Amino acid sequence: MKETFYITTPIYYPSAKLHIGHTYCTVATDAIARYKRLRGYDVMFLTGTDEHGQKIEEKAKEAGVTPQQFVDEIVTGEGGILDLWKLMNISNDRFIRTTDDYHVAAVQKIFKKMYDNGDIYKGAYKGKYCTPCESFWTESQLVDGKCPDCGREVHDAEEEAYFFRLSKYAKPVQELLESGTFLEPASRVNEMINNFIKPGLEDLCVSRTSFSWGVPVDFDPGHVVYVWVDALFNYATAMGYMNDRYNDLDKYWPNVHHIVGKEIVRFHSIIWPAMLMSVGMPMPQKVYGHGWLVIDGGKMSKSKGNVVDPYVLAEKFGVDALRFFLLRTFPFGSDGNFSNELLINTINVDLANSLGNLVSRTTAMVEKYFGGTLPADRCHDALDDEISAMMKECTEKYAGFMDAFQPHLALEEAFRLIGRANKYIDESAPWVLAKDEANRARLATVLYTLLEAIRSALTMLVPFIPESCAKAFEQIGADAAAQAWEKAGEYGVLPAEVSVHKGETLFPRIDAAAMLAELEAMQEAAKKAALPALEVEPLTEETIDFDTFCKSDLRAVKIKNCEAVKKSDKLLKFTLDDGTGTDRIILSGIHKYYEPDQLIGKTAVAILNLPPRKMMGVESNGMLISAVHKEKGEEKLHLMLIDDAVPAGAKLC
């Protein structure tokens, strides 16, 4: 029987569009799951959605739909979470939604079980509540008076609630954290112990009465189960814990590994083990807390000038290139600074130049020198032994890194081999060998060694860029047997008379300047689209008395002449009939909106008793009145034109 391997991602809040940061975690977990399948494990890869809570209830209300309709749209609708995982080639074996009936019923049973065993009791909660994070905090946990997780405002809240005896489990949880490798990277262990356990674990508020979108506590109507209790148990209910829908708990549970972002390590490494201890479940094998993708050191957001929409990035760069970039560039346990420049550079350097060129140069030479099929004659030398030794060494190290959840280091091994193979081409100079018939066996050997190095590297890359590897395997003539992990570090696996099939370029080089300009234009357009369609200035609250208003001498004026002011691209000079018989000159900065000819002969409104003002050497005596507003952030102006029947000098009041 195959050994099992159970791996999970956090289940996503369908409260906002997923960005590339969310995608990071799922792609990483997918690469590890694919690797484990390659190694022959019976893999269970679970992901899903965490659909309850106050935030969802509020957002649904804002959108004018029921919470269920709201989450259905984001999870199963077009361009929703399921579509995104399909696009990103995520190979999850199961998908759980916390609104699934079997999960809801199971959570009710779990809650009752902890109530019955005395670990959940009724009390009253007073504290600081962060609505976006759905977390209660004590005064001492706040950072500068704000939520320690997200930095947003918190507010006083009090409610009758159920509590989980987290304090009771402080010691066993600390022992678990300090023993072995339950929580990784190791730095996160100290963080948890020093920041949360040492200051004293308080009992956790595990029910809410202030909203209703949650799993109802069936023995106390009005209470719903705290969203984190509901969410964390997904890992168990999706395998059949406390329900009949699935029956895989015994098979997979002993080998469960949770991959989570750093900000939810506390939930997974303290609260989760404590609750599992309470219900008598074995501990997970591992919680791995990965770092965050940030932009300019801060949180991802659309306004930061980088496109972070995974749909856009996948369309522009390709799914494999995007998957690769995420895992190649950033050490998994630490934060990484995302930028489009870095993305383009990684694709060009690693995929287009190193890997893509190696495959295309090698297959092109097999075609050019041997018509696509190598002859069986061989002539080996020490360089081939070096490559073959490296295949073995790199694949072994790669496996160690993948087993330790270090995908960036594993990829480094694949690229060490690719780099060495590229150097081997220059050292062996096949184009020189090709000049002499006597070198045919050596030439065939050089190309064979290259094909073998490529095959070995591709086997390591399969979990990261599966579709590109399938094409490249086809190009180098590697059948399914030659793609097996067991053969990855072995030399001499491809048939001696291997045939190549030169195909499409795997990773076309990206024109960085053009692509960056394109992305920037998209970003600008998106920013503009997000602006309000129409904006008018808010009304002035301060009142003026009637006499003050009457002091403004507003008059109808006829535009006798209008011309642009020399050396100014803004100013128009108006010659006006104000009814006095003497021409009046007014300057107005509205050239951007009108050509002079458009306005001659029209009747406008001006305030005449402003003090004279000189602009560009010309004196202006008053101001023409315009209506101003904004459309999609752009200022719009309309000169106030009135009925031509109104005579010059008529007072407006």
Q: List contacts with ligand MSP (CB under 6 A).
A: 10-13, 21-22, 24-25, 50, 231-232, 234, 260-261, 263-264, 292-293, 300
Quote the least distance from Cβ 261 to ligand MSP, whole Å. 2
> Token pair for residue 189?
């262990």
Quote the least distance from Cβ 371 to ligand MSP, whole Å. 49
Angle at 8 between CA 5 and CA 9, to 5 degrees: 150
For residues 287 and 493, which CB has a smaller minimum distance to ligand MSP in the complex? 287
> Token pair for residue 592?
């951007």
| Residue 377 Cα distances to 77, 374, 428, 445, angstroms | 58, 9, 17, 8
For residues 110 and 478, which CB has a smaller minimum distance to ligand MSP in the complex? 110
For residues 205 and 275, which CB has a smaller minimum distance to ligand MSP in the complex? 275
Q: What's phi and psi for 615, nearest 5 deg?
A: -135, 130
Quote the least distance from Cβ 95 to ligand MSP, whole Å. 14
Cα torsion angle, 166, 169, 175, 181, sign:
negative
Quote the least distance from Cβ 142 to ligand MSP, whole Å. 20
Quote the least distance from Cβ 227 to ligand MSP, whole Å. 8
Report which residue type is found at 341.
E
Quote the least distance from Cβ 474 to ligand MSP, whole Å. 34
Cβ atoms within 10 Å, residue 144: 6
Quote the least distance from Cβ 156 to ligand MSP, whole Å. 25
Quote the least distance from Cβ 241 to ligand MSP, whole Å. 14
For residues 225 and 231, which CB has a smaller minimum distance to ligand MSP in the complex? 231
For residues 25 and 498, which CB has a smaller minimum distance to ligand MSP in the complex? 25
For residues 24 and 182, which CB has a smaller minimum distance to ligand MSP in the complex? 24
| Residue 7 Cα distances to 47, 255, 512, angstroms | 9, 8, 37
> Token pair for residue 617?
């050497």
> Token pair for residue 324?
């690769």
For residues 260 and 510, which CB has a smaller minimum distance to ligand MSP in the complex? 260
DSSP letter for each residue of 373-416: B--S-----HHHHHHHHHHHHHHHHHHHHHHTT-HHHHHHHHHH
Cα torsion angle, 640, 646, 647, 651, sign:
negative
Cα torsion angle, 430, 431, 437, 438, sign:
negative
Residue (of 612, 545, 600, 547) closest to 574 by Cα position: 600
**Residue with nearest beta carbon to ligand MSP:** 261
For residues 324 and 370, which CB has a smaller minimum distance to ligand MSP in the complex? 324
Residue (of 474, 480, 482) closest to 504 by Cα position: 474
Quote the least distance from Cβ 50 to ligand MSP, whole Å. 3
Quote the least distance from Cβ 70 to ligand MSP, whole Å. 15
Helix, strand, coil percent values for the chain (each to nearest 5)? 45, 20, 35
For residues 23 and 523, which CB has a smaller minimum distance to ligand MSP in the complex? 23
For residues 131 and 395, which CB has a smaller minimum distance to ligand MSP in the complex? 131
For residues 149 and 467, which CB has a smaller minimum distance to ligand MSP in the complex? 149
Quote the least distance from Cβ 212 to ligand MSP, whole Å. 19
Quote the least distance from Cβ 268 to ligand MSP, whole Å. 7
For residues 264 and 344, which CB has a smaller minimum distance to ligand MSP in the complex? 264
d(CA 631, CA 636): 7
d(CA 648, CA 558): 6
Angle at 310 between CA 309 and CA 314, to 5 degrees: 125
d(CA 644, CA 574): 17
For residues 232 and 410, which CB has a smaller minimum distance to ligand MSP in the complex? 232
SS3 label, residue 127: strand
| Residue 603 Cα distances to 254, 290, 483, 551, 627, angstroms | 85, 68, 82, 22, 15
Partners of 635 in the β-ladder: 630
> Token pair for residue 76?
């199963």
Report which residue type is found at 19.
H
SS3 label, residue 176: helix
Quote the least distance from Cβ 27 to ligand MSP, whole Å. 10
Quote the least distance from Cβ 150 to ligand MSP, whole Å. 10
For residues 29 and 395, which CB has a smaller minimum distance to ligand MSP in the complex? 29
How many alpha carbons lie under 13 Å from residue 140 in its C-beta half-sphere?
6
Length of the chain: 653
Angle at 141 between CA 138 and CA 142, to 5 degrees: 95
